[in-house]
Chain A
Amino acid sequence: MSRHVVARTSDIASGGNKVVTINSREIVVFHVNGRFFALLNRCPHEGAPLHKAACVAHLSAPEPGAFTRTRVGEMLRCPWHGWEFDMATGQSYFDPKGTKVRSYPVAVAEGRELAKGPYVAETFPVTVEDSYVIVEA
């Protein structure tokens, strides 16, 4: 595992995402509720690209008709078959232990800190003025 600078924080709009390739793997970085989440860009079911997933609320219901929405936007709903995954953990709703998307640690760092390294950012110009999204993969 090494740490990769993948984007300026300002590159990914809130509610949006960016797909990056690290070690030949496509990883999708989401920005929601002021946080960044990184997941393998591939549904464990049939391989759908998760950057096309709908970002939805965590939906539960203590009883029929009582819709409880929390962590709005932090659940992914796969574009192909509707399976839901938690952006923070990669766990599926229906089988959290057995069915999950691989997730990666994400951090945000200031440009001036990045100068200290060690970071992999060969293709990404870093300036001290900006802040950056770091994925550990």
Chain B
Amino acid sequence: MVLRIDCDVHPAVGGTRTTLLPYLSPHWQEQVTSRAIDGLDLTSYPPSMPLSARPDWRPEKGKPGAAWATVCNQALDGLGSSHAILNVIYGAQAVFDPYMAADFCKAINDWIAAEWLDQDPRLRASIVVPMQAPDLAIEEIERRAADKRFVSILVLAQGETLLGKRHFWPMHAAAEKHKLALTIHAGSQYRAAPSSIGWPSYRYEYYLAEAQAAQAQILSLVLEGVFGKFPGLKVVLAESGVSWLPAFMWRTNKTWRGVRVEVPWVDTSPIEIMRNNIRLTAQPFDAPPDKAGIEMLIDQIGSDRMLLFASDYPHWQFDGSDPIPPHLPPAIVQRMCVDNPLETFPRLGLTL
């Protein structure tokens, strides 16, 4: 079998009191029914928005990405992928009630296991966790850890606070222990404005601010010493773009030379830490359109281990049947489709 692992595919939760109902605890079954809690799609990804689904992938009825058979047909068969990692982006990760969040996340994971992973052996998934309460997030991680089809932990880029902070370390320890990658996906819990300066007027602005959030999370994880403490932890930035990376790495490195006494536990250059521990999905790919520009970008990243093949299905990032951005050197394509996903997600359990 030729491996080609799509590291970012989005199934849609049809509704909380429909899709998830059988998987909720009796208390939350009653609550979502009596309180009419249903669609909890994040305002950052309204299902009807053009970016949320490519027109040819949008079903006549329902949300794009809601039916497993359609997703397997369009994202795996249609895009030539051998496997796909499912990342559910839903309001469960954003609601304020930590107990509601915990039960909804558990329900999503149970639903994914039963109605997706059990249906097709090519599917894998990220564990959805209630970051509102890190202890409950760890409970959910431990509950899933025995099921190797869960290969990663999924969190939104714009959460309640920065992921390098000490109170998240037990979660990072659990991730490292179980060889689960930490996937930081574009999206917000809306605890703070998407831009550090305030609320933007346009979704366009919000969407680009996701790259700023990704940068803030990398800085936090690197400078708080998370990768010194948990060297085996791999962090995946999903749907955050790519081409901002070299300038960001250079500046982080340059500044570290002069002010590393603030963070003396960072005893190797941040650029090396990033190359070892940070990965990025390659859709959207915000790079120059020409071959020379792509080669320069790859040279500046300075590592062939950082990019992960991803379609971001059903989001409308590209047209046609090949999610791989044009002009990438074949060796880079091989690594991002196969070697890098296998290294980043060892629980995939696949071999060449």
Q: How many chain B residues touch the partner (CB < 8 A)?
A: 16
Q: Which residue of B lies closest to A82 (CB)?
A: B258
- Asked if B256 lies at the interface with its beta carbon under 8 angstroms from chain A, I say yes
Give residues 77-131 of A contacting B (CB, 8 Å): 77, 81-84, 92-94
**Is there contact, CB below 8 Å, between A94 and B257?**
yes
B260 touching A64, Cβ below 8 Å? no
Contact A81 B264 (CB under 8 A): no
| Docked pose: A68 CA to B229 CA in angstroms | 16
Contact B264 A84 (CB under 8 A): no
Q: Give residues of chain A (47-101) contacting chain B, Cβ–Cβ below 8 Å.
A: 56, 59-68, 77, 81-84, 92-94
Check: B346 CB closer than 8 A to any chain A CB. no
Q: In the bound complex, do residue A59 and residue B264 qualify as a contact, i.e. CB atoms below 8 Å apart? A: yes
- Chain B interface, DSSP helix/strand/loop, else mixed: helix
Among B225, B228, B258, find the residue whose CB has the most chain A CB atoms closer than 10 A.
B258
Partner of A59, one of B257, B261, B269: B261
In the complex, the answer to whether B264 meets A67 with C-beta atoms within 8 Å is yes
> What sequence of 0s and 1s flags, for each residue 331-345 of chain B, a beta carbon within 8 Å of any chain A beta carbon?
000000000000000
Task: Specify which chain A residues have a CB less than 8 angstroms from the CB of B228 in the assembled complex.
Answer: 63-64
A81-B267 CB under 8 A given contacts A63-B225, A64-B229: no
State which residues 255-290 of B face A: CB under 8 Å. Answer: 256-261, 263-265, 267, 269
A64 CB contacts on chain B under 8 angstroms = 166, 224-225, 228-229, 263, 265
Q: Which residues of A sit under 8 angstroms from B260, Cβ to Cβ?
A: 84, 93-94
* A41 CB to nearest B CB, Å: 19
A60 and B267 contact, CB distance less than 8 A: yes
- CA gap between A94 and B255 in the complex, in Å: 11
Residues of B within 8 A of A65 (CB): 265
In angstroms, Cα B265 to Cα A121, docked, is 46
Min CB distance B65 to A, Å, is: 40
A92 to chain B, nearest CB (A): 8
Taking the closest CB of chain B, its distance from the CB of A105, in whole angstroms, is 27
Give the docked Cα–Cα distance between A135 and B316 (Å).
69
B288-299 vs A, CB cutoff 8 Å, 1 = contact: the mask equals 000000000000
What does the 1/0 interface line of B147-176 toward A look like (CB < 8 Å)?
000000000000000000010000000000
Residues of A within 8 A of B224 (CB): 64
**Chain B, 233-268, contact with A by CB distance < 8 Å: what is the 0/1 string?**
000000000000000000000001111110111010
Q: Which B residues lie within 8 Å of A92 (CB)?
A: 257
CA distance in complex: A56, B259 (Å): 13
Report Cα–Cα, A65/B166, bound state, in Å: 11
Instruction: Enumerate chain A residues within 8 angstroms of B269, measured Cβ to Cβ.
Output: 94
* Centre residue among B166, B256, B263, B264 by max chain A CB count within 10 A: B264
CB distance from A86 to the nearest CB of B (A): 14
Bound-state Cα–Cα, A59 to B224, Å? 16
Contact A63–B258 (Cβ < 8 Å): no
Query: What are 27 contact pairs spanning A and B, CB under 8 A?
Result: A56-B261, A59-B264, A60-B264, A61-B225, A61-B264, A61-B265, A62-B265, A63-B225, A63-B228, A63-B229, A64-B224, A64-B225, A64-B228, A64-B229, A65-B265, A66-B265, A67-B264, A68-B264, A81-B257, A81-B258, A82-B257, A82-B258, A83-B258, A84-B260, A93-B260, A94-B257, A94-B260
Nearest 8 Cβ contacts at the A-B interface: A82-B258, A64-B225, A61-B265, A61-B264, A81-B258, A94-B257, A64-B265, A59-B264
Given A63-B225, A64-B166, A81-B257; 20 other pairs, CB 8 A cutoff: A56-B261, A60-B267, A61-B225, A61-B264, A62-B265, A63-B228, A64-B224, A64-B225, A64-B265, A67-B264, A77-B261, A82-B258, A83-B257, A83-B258, A84-B260, A92-B257, A93-B260, A94-B256, A94-B257, A94-B260
